[in-house]
């Protein structure tokens, strides 16, 4: 099997719904799954000229680091409220997410027009936070190359707009017991 297929199998084997929420704890705990996820997220963007990966807090930090290491580029953190984020930064407030929250996203001013940036996170649903990251990246003059996620739960228009590539779809994970 290839890297993407191996990672897909590992995700489907280790992912769980816990108390109605997506639980990636076993994915991160499994050394095989962990070693396969970064290369699989990076695979569609190898050769795309990516110079930096943005990891969106919180699980995106882990996944972004794995992906950046595989691509041989640096990691930039996209932080949410309550985090310490010293120095100059760009802040963009997202549109409402699936819970109806508008989330401020902060990224250190470390990107330039020479950068092509890949966003990495665990899940995409409405795309509101990914759009905020894209807006912040572009505000620094960098080019937004796309979005790599473990789970795609979005619509085709958002998928195309944010160049979303995923390892699995939410339908493949089975029904959740997420509270409405």
Report the pLDDT averaged over residues 131-135.
97
The strand pair at 52-56 and 74-79 is best described as parallel
Given this model, what pLDDT does residue 1 score?
A: 59
Given this model, what pLDDT does residue 51 score?
A: 98
Q: Give the span between the Cα atoms of 69 and 16, in whole angstroms.
A: 26
Write out the H or E segment, with its range, that includes residue 29: helix 25-29
Name residues whose C-beta falls within 8 Å of residue 69's C-beta, 6 or more positions apart in sequence. 38
Q: Give the span between the Cα atoms of 164 and 64, in whole angstroms.
A: 15
85 near 108, Cβ under 8 Å? yes
pLDDT tens for each residue of 56-110: 998 999 999 999 999 999 999 999 887 777 788 899 888 888 788 888 999 999 9
pLDDT tens for each residue of 40-52: 999 999 999 999 9
């Amino acid at each position: 099997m290839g890297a993407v297929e191996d990672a897909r199998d590992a995700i489907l084997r280790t992912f769980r719904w816990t108390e109605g929420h997506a639980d990636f704890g076993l994915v991160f705990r499994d050394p095989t799954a962990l070693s396969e996820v970064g290369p699989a997220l990076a695979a569609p963007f190898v050769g795309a000229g990516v110079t930096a990966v943005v990891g969106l807090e919180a699980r995106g930090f882990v996944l972004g680091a794995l992906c950046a290491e595989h691509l041989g580029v640096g990691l930039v953190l996209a932080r949410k409220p309550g985090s310490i984020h010293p120095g100059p930064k760009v802040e963009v407030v997202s549109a409402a997410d699936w819970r109806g929250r508008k989330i401020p996203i902060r990224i250190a001013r470390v990107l330039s027009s020479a950068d092509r940036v890949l966003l990495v996170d665990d899940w995409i649903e409405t795309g509101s936070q990914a759009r905020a990251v894209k807006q912040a990246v572009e505000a620094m003059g960098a080019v937004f190359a796309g979005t790599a996620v473990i789970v795609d739960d979005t619509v085709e228009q958002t998928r195309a707009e944010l160049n979303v590539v995923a390892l699995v779809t939410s339908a493949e994970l089975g029904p959740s017991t997420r509270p409405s």
